[in-house]
């Protein structure tokens, strides 16, 4: 593993604007070991792009601050998205007896309902840091989910009637995240590709794009692109193309 230790330092907040914003304050420090910032509630949780992440009490909201010794390539950064999603998915499957899958590129799902998401930021300059923000609807009650998202979201509590201890989650997740991310930083992509595809909600499924075209999803390839094909053409999508996918057929 490329990191010197597992996560030992954890900073806990009751309420923050977002754990990712709090994490940015630490990139100026001489941080030598991985750090985790968690909050019980976020007022302005951040998702991919300009999306907001609804963050009521009961969820897990955390950002890992990982100091790096060398610059990451664009391919490594791309695969960190996949590795992080895989680490979350594997952790939750260990904690709850329910089928949890990844919806490309890095959302966590139970069937068609979203359970969690990942946000990645790479900080380069005099110091190098990788920020991995993770939001999971853990022990969130349905009444606490924003009404705008209730049809498309769920939580482990809702699906299993099981309460997960945050400390148990952190212990398993931290180990999984650093182990899988270390493989990517060492340019070992094979395991991530294999396990990401085998746990993908859309793998080997027919999907429709916003332009009306239909494709078979062949999974992520060695370059980290999503491979789609039909009888007429092949497409290779990047994370920035994720809004092109309308859904499964």
156: Cβ contacts below 8 Å, ≥ 6 apart: 92, 95, 96, 98, 115, 136, 137, 138, 139, 162, 164
Average pLDDT, the chain: 92
Number of domains in the chain: 2
pLDDT class for 2, splitting at 50, 70, 90? low
For residues 177 and 109, membership in a common domain is answered with: yes
44 pLDDT exceeds 90?
A: no
* 163 and 144 inside one domain: yes
Measured CA to CA, the distance from residue 193 to residue 83 in angstroms comes to 9
d(CA 53, CA 172): 23
pLDDT digits (tens, 9 = 90+) for 130-175: 999 999 999 999 999 989 889 999 999 999 999 999 999 999 999 9
Shared domain for 119 and 237, answered yes or no, is no
pLDDT, position 229: 98
On whether the CB atoms of residues 66 and 3 are closer than 8 A, the answer is: yes
Note whether residue 3 is domain-resident: no
Nearest-10 Cα torsion for 15, 38, 196, 164: -90
- pLDDT tens per residue, range 213-229: 999 999 999 999 999 99
Whether pLDDT at 31 is above 90: no
What residues pair up with 60 in beta bridges, in sequence order?
A: 136
Break the chain down into helix, strand, coil percent, rounded to 5: 30, 35, 40
- 178: in domain: yes
The pLDDT of residue 52 is 61
């Amino acid at each position: 593993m490329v990191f010197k230790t597992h996560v030992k330092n954890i900073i806990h907040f009751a309420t923050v604007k977002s754990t990712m914003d709090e994490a940015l304050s630490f990139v100026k420090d001489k941080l030598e070991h991985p750090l985790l910032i968690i909050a019980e509630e976020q007022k302005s949780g951040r998702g991919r792009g300009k999306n907001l992440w609804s963050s009521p009490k009961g969820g897990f909201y955390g950002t890992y601050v990982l100091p790096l010794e060398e610059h990451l390539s664009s391919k490594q950064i791309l695969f960190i998205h996949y590795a992080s999603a895989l680490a979350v998915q594997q952790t939750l499957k260990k904690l709850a007896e329910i089928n949890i899958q990844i919806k490309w590129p890095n959302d966590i799902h139970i069937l068609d309902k979203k359970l969690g998401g990942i946000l990645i930021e790479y900080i380069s300059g005099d110091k190098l840091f990788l920020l991995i923000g993770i939001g999971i609807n853990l022990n969130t009650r349905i009444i606490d989910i924003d009404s705008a998202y209730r049809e498309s979201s769920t939580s482990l509590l809702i699906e299993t009637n099981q309460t997960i201890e945050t400390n148990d989650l952190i212990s398993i997740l931290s180990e999984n995240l650093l182990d899988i991310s270390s493989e990517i930083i060492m340019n070992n992509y094979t395991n991530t590709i294999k396990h990401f595809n085998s746990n993908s909600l859309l793998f080997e499924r027919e999907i429709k794009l916003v332009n009306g075209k239909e494709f078979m999803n062949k999974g992520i390839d060695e370059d980290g692109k999503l491979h789609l094909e039909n009888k007429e053409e092949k497409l290779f999508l990047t994370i920035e193309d994720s809004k092109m996918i309308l859904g499964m057929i």
